[in-house]
Amino acid sequence: MADIPVLNPALEVKAIGFHRSAAGCLGVLITPWFINLVLLPCEGDDWQERPIGSSHTYNFPSGSYQFLMAEEKGIGRFQSCSLLSPVLELPDQATALEVACAALGALVDPRHRDSESSTHAGEIAQRWHGQADENPNAPSVHKPAPAAASDESLIERPVSRRDLLRGRLLGDPGSAR
């Protein structure tokens, strides 16, 4: 990884805080290019059936987190959850250690649980596919009106800076010009 632009030369590889948890042997791995939560199989855990690249969700007091199955020669199978990548903004190893320790502490602290949802992946998918929000207090999502004109006429029509910034490219009839 030497001379790779995402490499932070102020950091070195360090594994910290590994301990047995319900999900496996959990800790944080610091490298010059990322900081990840890492799960190692505990004695008796059989992860050989799980495909490399598969995603597994684990519940911790602070919420649900997705880990990806991986395998490294000489290490075997493990699962990881990215905390920070790249790590270019970290000035030194001491700061990276502080970040890693804080992440481990926050993971087991229920005060950090998101009251709306433990993961926003489902909410993002719903909004991406235009499904309605089940939470009436959630912020509204702008849905563009169906195109009333052909693409060619839209290209020829001038758009004001205000309309461009507000996302009103299709001539929303209810908008003030």
**140, burial (CB in 10 Å: exposed 0-12, middle 13-18, buried 19+):** exposed
Per residue, the 3-state secondary structure of 82-139, as one string, reads EEECCCCCCCCHHHHHHHHHHHHHHHCCHHHCCCCCCCCHHHHHHHHCCCCCCCCCCC
The answer to whether the beta carbons of residues 20 and 13 sit under 8 Å apart is no
Radius of gyration of the chain (CA): 23
What is the rounded distance in angstroms from the CA atom of residue 139 to the CA atom of residue 120? 14
Torsion-angle region of residue 46: left (phi > 0), alpha (psi -120 to 50) or beta? beta
Strands 55-60 and 14-20: unpaired
The class that CATH gives domain 14-112 is alpha beta
Q: Please provide the average confidence, as pLDDT, over all residues in the chain.
A: 78
Cβ atoms within 10 Å, residue 112:
13
**25, burial (CB in 10 Å: exposed 0-12, middle 13-18, buried 19+):** middle
Domain ranges within the chain, ordered by starting residue: 14-112
| 59-96 pLDDT per residue, tens | 999 999 999 999 999 989 999 999 999 999 999 999 99
| 1-43 pLDDT per residue, tens | 556 677 999 999 999 999 998 889 999 999 999 999 999 998 8
Query: Is pTM, for the whole model, over 0.85?
Result: no
